[in-house]
Amino acid sequence: MNATDVSPKASARLHRIKIVSRIARLGVIGFLLFTIWFLSRVWIFQGTPVLFDKLNAASAKAVHQYPLFLCAAILSLITPLILCVWYWKLAQLFHYYERGLIFAVKTIRCIKFLGLLCVINWMLVSTIHLLLQDQPSPSQPMRRLEFFSFDFGWGVDFGPLLIGAIIVLIAWIMDEGRKIQEEQELTV
């Protein structure tokens, strides 16, 4: 295959990648803005989060539960922030693709970070749930068997942990593969 034949093909592919990545990035930024708007609306216009209501209810019932609910309430403020950061990193990933960095270090590191954020979010959500374990959780059925959802009746969903771990592992394997390719290119 001649260089002149290959180069236009590669250029066409890169151009397609650029367009699709840009659309995806704008879509993800749109989701991020929607999430921020939605959360702001819930918190500002519809009153305090449910946990703060429970905080007030708990303080009336049992004073010793107040610190637990306070911790849970603070953690529940952090989880939406992590979600926003996750969307931001995803947009950044598509930005790297747009620049043509498909198997680069930055791209793989971004994927790894997305996986780690999933794991961190799982840890926070599980902690919140464990802190509130005496309280009924209406939106969490006892057992769920769905995609990305593994609730074995303890009230803790292991699905996001599994997903985060898989993303981190795949990113690590891709990184090792990239280093192998680089080392093979250096071989004389």
Partner 1 sequence: MKANEISTKTNARLNRIQIVSRIVRYVILANIILNLGFWLIYASPLSGGLGRSVWLILLQALVCVWFWKLAQLFHFYERGLVFSSETIRCIKTLGLLCIINWLLMTMAGRFFSHPLAVKLPMVLPPDVKVVTTMVKAHSVGFFSFNIAGVNFGMLLAGIIIVLIAWIMDEGRKIQEEQELTV
Pairing type for strands 149-152 and 143-146 reads antiparallel
Measured from the CB atom, the residue of 13 and 67 that comes closer to partner 1 is 13
What one-character DSSP code corresponds to residue 142? Answer: S
The total of other beta-carbon atoms located within 10 Å of residue 50's CB is 14
Residue 97 CB, nearest distance to partner 1 (Å)? 5
Measured from the CB atom, the residue of 46 and 60 that comes closer to partner 1 is 46
Which of positions 8-67 make contact with partner 1 (CB under 8 A)? 9-10, 13-14, 16-17, 20-21, 24, 31, 34-35, 38-39
- In angstroms, rounded to a whole number, what is the distance separating the alpha carbons of residues 110 and 174? 12
Angle at which helix 105-131 crosses helix 66-98, to 10 degrees, equals 160
Per-position DSSP letters for 148-185, written without gaps between them? TEEEESSS-B-HHHHHHHHHHHHHHHHHHHHHHHHHHH
Site for partner 1 contains 139 (CB under 8 A): yes
What one-character DSSP code corresponds to residue 62? Answer: -
Residue from 58, 121, 131, 132 touching partner 1 (CB under 8 A): that is: 121
Give the side-chain half-sphere CA count within 13 A for 22. Answer: 7
Q: Determine the size of the site formed for partner 1 (CB under 8 A).
A: 62
Measured from the CB atom, the residue of 63 and 186 that comes closer to partner 1 is 186
Residue from 62, 77, 102, 105 touching partner 1 (CB under 8 A): that is: 102
Site for partner 1 contains 134 (CB under 8 A): no
Measured from the CB atom, the residue of 67 and 133 that comes closer to partner 1 is 133
Which whole-number Å values give the CA distances from 174 to 78, 103, 108, 178, in the listed order? 30, 8, 7, 6
Site residues for partner 1 per CB under 8 A: 1-3, 6-7, 9-10, 13-14, 16-17, 20-21, 24, 31, 34-35, 38-39, 79-80, 83, 86, 90, 93, 97, 102-103, 118, 121, 136, 138-139, 141-148, 150, 152, 160, 162-163, 166, 169-170, 172-174, 176-177, 179-181, 183-184, 186-188
